Amino acid sequence: MPDTSQPPHREPERRPPLRHALRSASVPALAAVAVGGAIGALARYGLTVAFPASPGTFPLATFTANTLGGLLIGVLMITVTEVAPGLGRIRPFVGVGILGGFTTFSTYILDIGRAANAGATALAVVYAFATMAAALLAAALGMFATRRLLVRRRA
């Protein structure tokens, strides 16, 4: 029995041109992301000066940046999606720029590799999972607290 559940011919899936997808990357938005990214990265660099990394010890600076950045992204995203949608325009600067530049995945991987390379395998594993758990918990806390404190109950 031929399968008659399918329509005889399907419309080919049509994807709009790429330039439509790039519309949100206006020059002001790109500039806001660039400036925000620089600010966030400088703050992250400041943490590495405050908590210098030494081989075989817990990489506190990157851990702090990624955990604090998780908390702040949770607060920001609930704020711009549920508390004050009018603030959505600050997302490229604050979210993509500052928090994206402040947090880092590449240094996290570098930290894991350095610990493993120094023979501190247990530290590498603990750091890898501790960062993942702390960043996710912090982001969840940021979202929960912002909803609890700022989202008005609709009667």
Partner 1 sequence: MILLLVAAGAAVGAPARFLTDLVVAHYAGRFLPWGTLVVNVFGSGLAVFLAVAVTDADWTALLVTGFCGALTTYSTLSYETLLLVENGRWRHALWNVAANLAGGLAAGLLGFALAHLLTA
Binding site for partner 1 (CB under 8 A): 15, 18, 21-22, 24-25, 29-30, 33-42, 44-45, 48, 65-66, 69-70, 72-74, 77, 92, 95-97, 99-110, 112-113, 128, 131-132, 135-136, 138-140, 143
| Pair 68, 138: CB distance under 8 Å | yes
Angle at which helices 60-78 and 27-50 cross, to 10° = 140
Helix, strand or coil, per DSSP, at residue 55: coil
- Please report how close the Cβ of residue 71 comes to partner 1 at its closest, in angstroms: 9
The CB-of-104 to partner 1 minimum distance in angstroms stands at 4
Q: Minimal distance in Å, beta carbon 8 to partner 1? A: 26
The nearer residue to partner 1, 30 or 120, going by C-beta atoms, is 30
Question: What's the closest the beta carbon of residue 152 comes to partner 1, in angstroms?
Answer: 20
Q: CA-to-CA distance for 95 and 73, rounded, in angstroms?
A: 7
Neighbours of 97 (CB within 10 A): 25
User: Two tokens at 51?
Assistant: 């908590």
Q: Which is nearer to partner 1, 5 or 85 (CB)?
A: 85
